Amino acid sequence: MPRHLSLVAAIAAFGFLVACDRGSAAGGADPATQGPRAADDGKLPFAIAEVATFDEPWALVSLPDGRMLVTEKKGHLQLVDAGGQKHEVSGVPTISYGGQGGLGDVALHPHFATNHLVYLSYVEAGAGPLRGAAVARGKLVEAAGGARLEGVQVIWRQVPKIDGGGHFGHRMKFGADGKLWISSGERQQFDPAQDMGANLGKVLRLEDDGRVPADNPFAAKGGVTAQVWTLGHRNPLGIAFAPGGQLWELEMGPAGGDELNRIVRGANYGWPRVSEGKHYDGRVIPNHASNPTYKAPAISWTPVIAPADFIFYTGKQFPAWKGDIIIAGLKSEGLVRVHITGETAREVARYPMGHRIREVDQAADGALLVLEDGTPARLLRLTP
């Protein structure tokens, strides 16, 4: 039996109404409704079809013609057609692979249909053991000999580079105003998240070529400080715009305290001074309620779900989910659905997939595209 069919059979047999980690609410969410659940009849509300397999995939983006670009951490960018055939794109920048680092996110310029610009985030080497995330863009060119990126230019770098292999963040999204938003992790160093002389532990806002918009909250200060939109983030692995244009951010907490945050211009979200989790050695961190100076998450999870990315669902195939957040869960090994009401958030369901999930995206027809984590890892298409 094919792997995806055996998974569906297992789901039907066991119902998958297992007890999952319960989220703890913040920011006005109702704890009594926090319990995750699958569909009422115990079955997953979607069929699962395998599209292709990859070696440590990290992100994907759909092209206007329905094909996809998929990144693999070791430095490969794959162009995938509707039938699941892969064609490697050449011209990818040199990456530094190891730990949580490697080739990361992929995004299309808002005017990709005419300028063919593709944006990649990745980890690059510095002097000695130092490493840091970067963002580059190049033009996707296709010819009889294959696909390649031309004119690749680095438009952003983490400052400073740090020795270590974790918490790069480096998710990207374009806003409706054409600005490029980047999540930058604090590199497991704690303090840089509050240091305005570094762009680590921040959510950043740039022009499409890496320049700093004049209306950024700290633009007058110059340097990397001018890039900052919000600060006090730990390991931000997801950013997405709600249908109305509001930006939200998702980050991993320490031992507990994964956070979903509504992003407010110039706000400080508190890491490492406050958190809904604890240090790994058990030391207590004051929570957000102890210091209202710092903006509290709309929802937090203890035990953690280990979020990897998320989207706001806007399609037609799952009408009951319209406007909800769909989260890719690593430790939680499935999808987590969250309903947003104004500034509050409430988890409404979990859909176990039996595998760590690295990425979730929405196809043009409203199907969900899901990337498993690791090797081999499948790209799955979910439909009702």
State whether residue 319 is helix, strand or coil. helix
**Residues 121, 209: Cα–Cα separation, whole Å:** 14
Strands 377-383 and 47-54: antiparallel
**Residues 119, 109: Cα–Cα separation, whole Å:** 7
324 burial (CB, 10 Å; 0-12 / 13-18 / 19+) is buried
Pull the structure tokens for residue 182.
């980047």
- From 167, 170, 233, 288, the catalytic residue: 167
Pull the structure tokens for residue 102.
């490697």
Per-position DSSP letters for 174-215, written without gaps between them: E-TTS-EEEEE--TT-SGGGG-TTS-SSEEEEE-TTSPPPTT
Per-position DSSP letters for 272-288, written without gaps between them: TT--SSB-TTS-----G
Helices (H), the chain: 3-14, 112-115
355 is catalytic: no
**Residues 292, 272: Cα–Cα separation, whole Å:** 14
Diameter of the chain measured on Cα atoms = 62
**Residues 274, 72: Cα–Cα separation, whole Å:** 34
* Helices and strands (DSSP H and E) totals, the chain: 2, 26
Q: Which of 205, 210, 123 is nearest to 161 (CA)?
A: 123
**Residues 244, 312: Cα–Cα separation, whole Å:** 11
Q: Which of 104, 179, 113, 176 is nearest to 140 (CA)?
A: 113
Pull the structure tokens for residue 48.
């699962």
Strand order in the sheet with 377-383: 47-54, 377-383, 368-372, 357-362
**Residues 55, 292: Cα–Cα separation, whole Å:** 44
Residues marked active site are found at 167
